[in-house]
Amino acid sequence: MQNAGSKSRTAVALRKSAVARYLQLAALFRRRIETGEWVVDARIPTVDELAKECGVANMTIRQALGILEQEGLIERFRAKGTFVRKRNRHDLWCEVQTDWSGLLMSRDNAQIKVINVENGVRPADFPSDVGELAPEYLHLRRVHSRDGEAFLLADVYIDERISARIDKDDLTRKTSMRLIADVPGIKIVDARQVLTIGLADPEISELLGVPLGDPVAYVKRVAVAEDGTMVLIANGIYRGDMVRIDIKLLTGESPGQPD
């Protein structure tokens, strides 16, 4: 049960965001299930209680609970109440690699599906301080999944002058960096990766199968060839509930004491 202070904070937080309140509440209630605050098979607070806690109308609570019911997380019974039926699976198996060798590795049991191909494209979103754009790019939109569940949506741009040297079968087998690294005669002299956190918009929500407004990780990768051309620009969007980043900070030696 929430205390008076948390009730006030919840209502204030809801008013600060531009996201529709029922979507915010759906995310809040989903989190309570994920953390075990609302236990599987237990009855959750009533609509009236939740409306009072969150400072919203009963209809807004019903809209939020309707989303969770569609996801199979709760079940509502007339005259009995609303019960938690399951918790979302949190399998943080998808690790965003932070070194060159890691970026070349494919993930175990992962499948890659190409859902769109375009030739003669100039990417609109690219780092202007890393290298020069190629005249045109091959654009691939790919969805990475495991056991039928998508975890990564990626827009991959490959310098069209070298894309013909890539085996078409590799487009559904290799990471974007591996596609470029394996092209004969191409030497990569610089590679960058930037990760930021955002929220799932309607398109991302549909393609990755996550609720609207859920956290996602945006990862931008660039590979530069000897002539200074960005031969690869890859923009990936990872599901926030499946991804992790491990960065080794020490190499075996203990840090020294500050002076």
**Per-residue tokens: 173:** 């087998």
pLDDT, tens digit (0-9, with 9 covering 90-100), for 145-178: 988 888 899 999 999 999 989 999 999 999 898 8
Say how far apart CA 10 and CA 2 lie, in whole Å: 10
Say how far apart CA 202 and CA 200 lie, in whole Å: 7
**Per-residue tokens: 32:** 């309570």
pTM of this prediction? 0.66
Q: Name the residue among 221, 249, 245 with its Cα closest to residue 92.
A: 245
Q: Are strands 230-239 and 215-225 parallel, antiparallel or unpaired?
A: antiparallel
Crossing angle of helices 4-16 and 47-54, in 10° steps, is 70
pLDDT, tens digit (0-9, with 9 covering 90-100), for 94-143: 455 555 455 545 556 789 999 999 999 999 888 878 899 999 999 999 99
In the chain the domains, ranked by start, together with CATH numbers, are 4-84 (1.10.10.10), 94-244 (3.40.1410.10)
